[in-house]
Structure 1
C-alpha cells in the first residue's frame, strides 16, 4: 500500500506529497492544466480540484501549487488521501513511455570532505571534463541532474567535475538522514540514462581561468606560472576532497593572487588554512617570492 508523506517547501503555495519510492525515474514534469497533463492520469485527477494551479512530478514526489482560495492546512490531508487512493486502486502516475535508453549499471558511493557541509558522491564512470558549479536552480540549464537535485529542499549548492558530484547542504539536516537518499537518487538517475551535464550548454562566462582570459598566452609570465602550479599541484589535491580552486587574477603591485573556491572548498572552515599554509607557501617557494599572498573571492 502506498503511503504519502506531506512536506512543506520554501514556497508557501506549494506542497510536496512524497512517495516511498521513485515515481518519475529520470524525468521531471510540470502541468499547468488538465489538457496539459495528458501524460499523467494522476495530475489530471488532481486538476479536478478547483484550487489546484500547477502539478509537478519529479523523483519521488508530486508537488502541487494552489490558488489562494484555500489554505493548505484545510485541504492537504484530503489531497494526500486522494493521491494514496488513486495509486492504491491501480491509477497511473505517468503514462508508460517507450524506454529510450538501456539501463547502464553503475556504482555510487559517498565520501566525506574537509567541509562538513559538503559530501562527495563518486560515480564509477566519467561524468564531465569541465568542472562546473551551481549556486541555485536557476543556473542549472546545462545540468538536468543538478536541477533534479535542487528539488531536494536541503540541497544548497552542487559542484560537478570528472567522476563525482559534490553536494553542499543546509545545516538544518544531518548527512546521516539524507546520504542514502541522495546516493540512491543519483545512481538511479544515471543508470536510467539521465543527462548529467550537457557540455554544449555550458556558458563561457564561467569564472574559470581558461574562460575568463581571452587566452593563456595573453597573460603575464607570473600569472602563467601560477596557473601551471595550480593545475599541476593544487587542483588534483582539492579535487580529491570534492572541490576546485581556479585562478582569477594576479596583481603585480601588491603580489596578490586571487583564486576562486568551488565545490567543497567553498565555505569550508579549513579553506583559510589551505590558502595560507598550503597554496601561499607553495607559490612563495616555487616562484621564489616571499611577498606573494593569496586571497579567495566568491564564486
Structure 2
C-alpha cells in the first residue's frame, strides 16, 4: 500500500491520500484528543504528540500539526500510523461504525433559518454540495452550513481549511462571491 501526501494552503496541515475510501459518506473532524477517542485512527494520530487536528474526508485524511512541529519528522510517523490502520483493516470508529457527519445537527446551527427561507437554504446547500465542498476538499478540508438568516450565511471551515491563513479570503472573496452570484438574497457570508 502506498499513501500519497499533498501540501495544503495551510502550512500547519498536510493531506494524506491512502488510495481508498476513508469515509463512506460525510466528513468528520477531531479538534482535540478527547474528540479523537471516537476513532482509534484519530486517537493514534493524536498520540504522536504533535498532532492538533485530524479530519477524515471521503478519500483523504488531513492532519494538522501544532506550532513548532517539523513535518519532515512528523510525516513519516503519520504515514506509519495510517499504513498500520489500513493494512490491519481496523474500523475507523470505535464500535466498528463509519459515523460521518456531513450536516450538523440542528443544535449545532449558529442561527435557525426562517421557515420562509427554505428555498434559499436549499439553494445554499445545493451550491455547497456541488461547487464549493469539492473545491475545499481538494485543499484537505470541508465547509459546513451553520445557518442562514436575514441575508447572512454562516459557514464553518474544517480540516486543513480551519486554521489556514487564506481561509478568510476564501470565505469572503471566493465563497461569498459565488453564493451572492447565484442567490441574490445573500448579502454576506460569515465564519461560524
**Alpha-carbon distance in 2 for matches of 1:271, 1:202:** 26
Contact 1:142 1:202 in 2 (8 A): no
Unaligned runs of 5+ in 1: 1-105
Give per-residue Cα distances to partners, 1:177-213, cap 9 Å, x unaligned. 211221122112211222223574738xx6x535338
Which of 77, 86, 101 is residue 190 of structure 1 equivalent to? 86
**Alpha-carbon distance in 1 for matches of 2:17, 2:97:** 23
Unaligned runs of 5+ in 2: 108-114
User: Within the alignment, does 1:202 sit opposite 2:106 as a pair?
Assistant: no
- Report the equivalent of 1:240: 138
Contact 1:245 1:260 in 2 (8 A): yes
- Report the equivalent of 1:293: 188
Contact 2:91 2:97 in 1 (8 A): no
Give per-residue Cα distances to partners, 1:139-169, cap 9 Å, x unaligned. 1243110011111110001000111110000
Which structure shows the higher helix fraction?
Answer: 2
User: Within the alignment, does 1:170 sit opposite 2:66 as a pair?
Assistant: yes
Larger mean CA deviation between 223-232 and 133-142 belongs to 133-142
- Report the equivalent of 2:32: 136
**Alpha-carbon distance in 2 for matches of 1:295, 1:242:** 21
Which of 11, 23, 33 is residue 116 of structure 1 equivalent to? 11
**Alpha-carbon distance in 2 for matches of 1:130, 1:176:** 30
Contact 2:50 2:66 in 1 (8 A): yes
**Alpha-carbon distance in 1 for matches of 2:122, 2:4:** 36
Q: Which has the larger radius of gyration?
A: 1
Contact 2:41 2:81 in 1 (8 A): no
**Alpha-carbon distance in 1 for matches of 2:46, 2:11:** 19
1:209 is paired with a residue of what secondary structure? coil
1:237 is paired with a residue of what secondary structure? helix
**Alpha-carbon distance in 2 for matches of 1:283, 1:138:** 35
Contact 1:159 1:166 in 2 (8 A): yes
Which of 98, 102, 127 is residue 22 of structure 2 equivalent to? 127
- Report the equivalent of 1:64: none
Contact 2:10 2:164 in 1 (8 A): yes
- Report the equivalent of 1:272: 168
1:187 is paired with a residue of what secondary structure? helix
- Report the equivalent of 1:220: 118
Larger mean CA deviation between 193-202 and 257-266 belongs to 193-202
